[in-house]
Amino acid sequence: MGKYKKRDLVAFVFLMPWIIGFLIFQAVPFLNSLYYSFTDLSMLKTPNWIGIANFQEIFTYDRDFRKSLMATCIYVIISVPLKLLFALFIAMLLNMKLKGIGLFKTLFYLPSILGGSVGIAILWRFLFAREGFVNLLLSKVGLSAIDWLGSPKLALPTVSLLAVWQFGSSMILFLAALKQIPKELYEAAMVDGSGRVRMFFRITVPMITPIILFNIIMQMINAFQEFSAPFLITQGGPLKATYLYGLMVYENAFTYLKMGYASALSWILFVIMMALTFLIFKSSKGWVFYQDGGMES
């Protein structure tokens, strides 16, 4: 005990509000939902313990589960790399020394502030509706209207694009990372006669790999939990093409009143995300470069 000083106590006191909030609003519901996933909890009734019946149903029968998991994986595979590439691209533009760069930074960050909002999702719906702006542009160049959100094949990519639009937070992180790359590296490379492309792949990318890792994980987790875009734009349709996992959990919980079942679904997603995160961390040893030698794991 002697190790702990007054300083630590002060820190602890300052952390208390967060810890209390965490325990009440996250830890308790988290553990509760684990318990509920083994029950038949509906909204207002007392739950009965039903063992692994929920999980059995999910894995052996529930076609929506398979469809939804597949759609969600595709969504993650489309939206995360696109978003990160776009974020990196904009970050590199903003890293150049230009007049009024502060203004540009703000402008580019704006969509991210707005992007998660209901209003933008609705706007997206209007843009890509049959009578929407995108089809209007197509008609100007003589192309016929496309049902972006009505076609089972196109709906998911269209919804995924909305996510790409919210590249701001990754961009800011990339920008910070780019700023930290020592100039000497580039100078040395130029002296040695390297081109821009070579410098990008040999200096820039390796130097920002820790941030790439961080962004991949964060964005992957966000994407797996995406809810508002499909909920507001397509309600999961057409033909469940955009029936993402979050939407499925929500529908089971609030439309079918199968809270226990929804808890089980949540836990499966949790395990999947945990496993993927673990795999990415494992793989990171092979491709992430820490300037200071990295942390001991």
Partner 1 sequence: MRKRAWSIFCAAALTMVSLAGCGGNGGNEETKGTENPVTETGNEKEEITLRFSWWGSDNRHEATIKAIDRYMELNPGISIEYEYMGFDTYYEKLLTQLSGGTQPDICSIDHKWIGDLINQDKPFLNINELTDIIDLSKFDQEFVQNFCGREDYLIGVPCGMTARGALYNVEFFEKYGLSSEKDWTWEDLLEAGEKVNQQDPDAHLLFLTNDVLVYLTRDLIKQKYGENMINDNYELVCTEEDLKECMEMVKKLVDTGTMPSFEQTVLYENVFADQVPAWLEGKWGMTVLVNSNLPSVVAASPFEVKTLRLFSSEGGKDSAITIAPTMMLGIPKACKHPEEAAKFINWFVNDPEAVEITGDTRGVPANEEAKESLAKKGLISEEVSAMLTQALEVTVSPENTPTLNAEVAEAISEYSHQVGYGQMMPEEAAKGLYEDLTRLLKKIKP
Footprint of partner 1 (CB under 8 A): 22, 25-27, 29-30, 32-33, 36, 41-47, 61, 125, 129-131, 147, 149-152, 210, 213-214, 217-218, 221-222, 225, 234-235, 237-240, 246, 249-250, 253-257, 259-260, 262-263, 265-267, 269-270, 273-274, 277, 281, 295, 297
Q: Give min distance, CB of 124 to partner 1, in A.
A: 11
Which residues on neighbouring strands pair with residue 39, listed in sequence order?
A: 49
Closest to partner 1 by CB, 85 or 274: 274
H-type alpha helices, the chain: 6-22, 28-36, 53-60, 63-94, 101-115, 118-127, 133-140, 155-164, 168-179, 183-191, 196-199, 205-224, 228-233, 245-250, 259-287
Comparing CB distances to partner 1, the nearer of 128 and 167 is 128
In the complex with partner 1, the residue whose CB is nearer, 108 or 224, is 224
Shortest spacing between CB 49 and partner 1, in angstroms: 13
The CB-side HSE value for 104 (13 A sphere, CA atoms) comes to 14
Q: Is 217:209 a contact under the CB 8 Å cutoff?
A: no
Q: Determine the angle formed by the axes of helices 205-224 and 168-179, rounding to 10 degrees.
A: 160
Q: What CA–CA distance (Å, rounded) separates 79 from 159? A: 9
Residues with Cβ < 8 Å from 69, sequence gap 6 or more?
Answer: 245, 272
CB of 61 to partner 1, least distance (A): 8
Minimum gap (Å) between residue 96 Cβ and partner 1 = 26
Q: How far is the CB of 281 from partner 1 (least distance, A)?
A: 7
The nearer residue to partner 1, 45 or 179, going by C-beta atoms, is 45
49: β partners: 39
In angstroms, the CA 95 to CA 82 distance is: 20
Q: How far is the CB of 262 from partner 1 (least distance, A)?
A: 4
| CB-nearer residue toward partner 1: 75 or 267 | 267
Closest to partner 1 by CB, 129 or 189: 129
